[in-house]
Amino acid sequence: MSILEKIRVWIKQGRDKYVTFNWWQKTLTWLGGFLLAFLMMDYIVMPLYTRLGQEYELPDVTEKPLAVAFETLEDQGFIPIVQDSAFDAHYAKGMILRQNPSPYSTVKKGRRVYLVMSSGEKPIYMPDLVKESITNAELRLRELGLVLNQIYPEYSEKLPYVDVVLRQSVNPGELVEYGKKINLTVSMGAPPNSQQIPRLVGKSLDRALKELEVVGVRRDSIQIIQRYRTDLLPRTIISQSVQEGTLVIESGKVELEVSTDQFPDQESRGGGGR
């Protein structure tokens, strides 16, 4: 008798015997059959289907350029896919930030590996600072990671408001790098309408020189005398030799006493010096 015929006979005998079972015997038979089928699926069928035991360690491709990551994964039988990108100031554009599954996971060949790629540092667009106060302008620059470099004072009829931004060295909307230095031109108010010496006491040296230039005082006729003062910011005008309101043509040489944070033995004098 062939094996196939023996199986048929065994099945027929089992079926005939099952018919004679009472209800609890049939119930136990069904439960036993279900358990046997479950064990076969768990230990035989599924391992064969999923190729159990043929798993490999996934390489770490984070912090690697995209091309290198793709080559590494493909060479080891995996399928790399760029799933997303994100700005990151610490990694150059094209570097891999994250991968899923995580590095060193055990996976099967042909597994898809999803990658998140760096888009580089987040771009900074230059804000429009014109008509802003110098205080607000500096705050906005600092918040964006930009640096206020030079401030150039200038009289303005269009914006005759003191300490308001007239111009900026980078146009609004331009793309700039983190830490870029920005120069601003700031209004000193409306230009003077007469050729008279203005009041300079309490102003910064740079502003005083600009105001004198505007009313026609030549730089070579200005003498700066430094005085050690701890109660004032350095380069603040303490006194002026020519009284406010004096006509420029009658002023002659103008002496400006300016504060310094240098010690007294380091004070210096000099025409137009700093």
Q: 249: which DSSP letter?
A: G
CATH code 3.40.109.10 for 123-191: no
Note the pLDDT of residue 270: 45
Distance CA(180)–CA(205), nearest Å, equals 26
Across all residues in the chain, what is the average pLDDT? Answer: 85
Which pLDDT value is given to residue 18? 65
Contact of 210 with 188, CB cutoff 8 Å = yes
* pTM for the structure as a whole: 0.46
Q: What pLDDT digit, counting tens, does each position of 19-74 carry? A: 677 777 778 777 877 788 777 777 666 666 655 557 889 999 999 999 999 999 99
Question: Domain locations in the chain?
Answer: 20-52, 56-118, 123-191, 193-274
Whether residue 262 contacts residue 228, with contact meaning beta carbons closer than 8 Å, is answered with: yes
Cα–Cα dist 207/201, whole Å: 11
Q: Which of 232, 223, 225 is nearest to 261 (CA)?
A: 232
What sign for the dihedral angle of Cα 187, 190, 191, 197? negative
CATH number of 193-274, picked from 3.80.10.10, 3.40.50.300, 3.40.50.261, 3.30.10.20: 3.30.10.20
Name the nearest CA neighbour of 248 among 273, 213, 272, 223: 213
CA 233 to CA 64: how far, in whole Å?
Answer: 51
pLDDT on residue 8: 72
Q: Which residues contact 234 (CB under 8 A, 6 or more apart)?
A: 259, 260, 261
**CATH match for 56-118 among 3.40.640.10, 3.40.50.1820, 3.30.10.20, 3.40.50.360:** 3.30.10.20
For the chain, which residues score pLDDT lower than 50?
A: 267-274
Q: What is the pLDDT of residue 140?
A: 95
Q: Would you say the CATH fold of 193-274 matches that of 123-191?
A: yes
The predicted structure's pLDDT at residue 267? 47
Which one-letter amino acid corresponds to residue 88? Answer: D
- For residue 13, is it left (φ>0), alpha (ψ between -120 and 50) or beta? alpha
Q: Is 232 left (phi over 0), alpha (psi -120 to 50) or beta?
A: beta
**Residue 52: predicted pLDDT:** 54
Q: Are the beta carbons of 196 and 245 closer than 8 angstroms?
A: yes
CB 74 within 8 A of CB 109: no
